[in-house]
Amino acid sequence: MIIYKTEEEIELIRASAKVLAQAHGEVAGMIKEGVTTRALDQRAEEFIRDHGGQPSFKGYNGFEYSLCISPNAVVVHGFPSDYQLKSGDVVSVDCGVLLNGYHADSAYTYPVGEVAPEVLKLLEETKKSLYLGIDQAVAGNRMGDLGYAIQNHVEKQGYGVVRELVGHGIGQKLHERPEVPNYGKRGAGLKLQEGLVLAIEPMVNLGTKSVIQEKDGWTIRTKDFKPSAHFEHTVVVRKDKAEILTSFEYIEKALQ
């Protein structure tokens, strides 16, 4: 069942999204060579709990961490660890916040130190594709319009769009219906209606679209070991223009 949100519920998700955006900003300020991914996870959890929230991911289906931290060829669901970031890495940080009974979810991929130009371009174009997808999240459009906008943009750059992982509805549950693929056909799929809250999250690989799940049952990496990028916002479908509830504002301030 697809659950459309009232304006009151959207305000509760917006409150979660603000804490989430600020937590991302805290993490962004720590992204540098020599920092462990575990330290990023600990700071995010501390900030979220200090602001009255809970990390959405911690305990989800047995996941033990507050962040999914996915460096380089890891697409998503990477475990925080004692791995130290080094120059040339790119690292995706995915986070969710539960506050007042409602979740928000967002992700951002960071360059660390001196990163190869073709990898920086992957990050730039993946982020751009997120906003192209969001532009299609308006009432009357179809889910395929959204997926097509993302797929068309990134495949023109020669990148691979992951098929096995998709965005999702979000609200009182972290993952709700409908699924939000990052590929599709224009005019196909679910007709979008006002009040639908979606986590839109392009996952785009520098090389092949093919991915492999590691033996830990969580970590997803590219089959060819080339880098991947992941950007995500929580968005409300509106009549004329989608409304973005999460924000990269705090990230961008921290990176200045």
pLDDT for 53-99, tens place per residue?
A: 999 999 999 999 999 999 999 999 999 999 999 999 999 999 999 99
Containing H/E element for 47? helix 37-50
Please give the pLDDT value at position 45.
Answer: 98
- Decide: residue 51, CB within 10 A, 0-12 exposed, 13-18 middle, 19+ buried: middle
CA dist 31 and 256 (Å) reads 12
Give residue 240's pLDDT band: very low, low, confident or very high (50, 70, 90): very high
Which whole number is the average pLDDT over 232-236? 98
Which whole number is the average pLDDT over 47-52? 98
Q: Distance of alpha carbon 140 from its chain centroid, rounded? A: 24
Annotated binding site for substrate: 77, 175
pTM, 2 dp: 0.98
Please give the pLDDT value at position 107.
Answer: 98
CA dist 201 and 199 (Å) reads 6
Annotated binding site for a divalent metal cation: 94, 105, 168, 201, 232
The CATH number corresponding to 7-255 among 3.90.230.10, 3.40.50.150, 3.30.1370.60, 3.10.20.90 equals 3.90.230.10
Give residue 14's pLDDT band: very low, low, confident or very high (50, 70, 90): very high
Q: Distance of alpha carbon 183 from its chain centroid, rounded? A: 16
Whether residue 66 contacts residue 59, with contact meaning beta carbons closer than 8 Å, is answered with: no
Going from N- to C-terminal start, the domains of the chain cover 7-255
Sort strands 160-161 and 167-169 into parallel, antiparallel or unpaired: unpaired
User: How many Cα atoms are found within 13 Å in the side-chain-facing hemisphere of 79?
Assistant: 12
**62 DSSP assignment:** G
Give residue 8's pLDDT band: very low, low, confident or very high (50, 70, 90): very high
Annotated binding site: 77, 94, 105, 168, 175, 201, 232
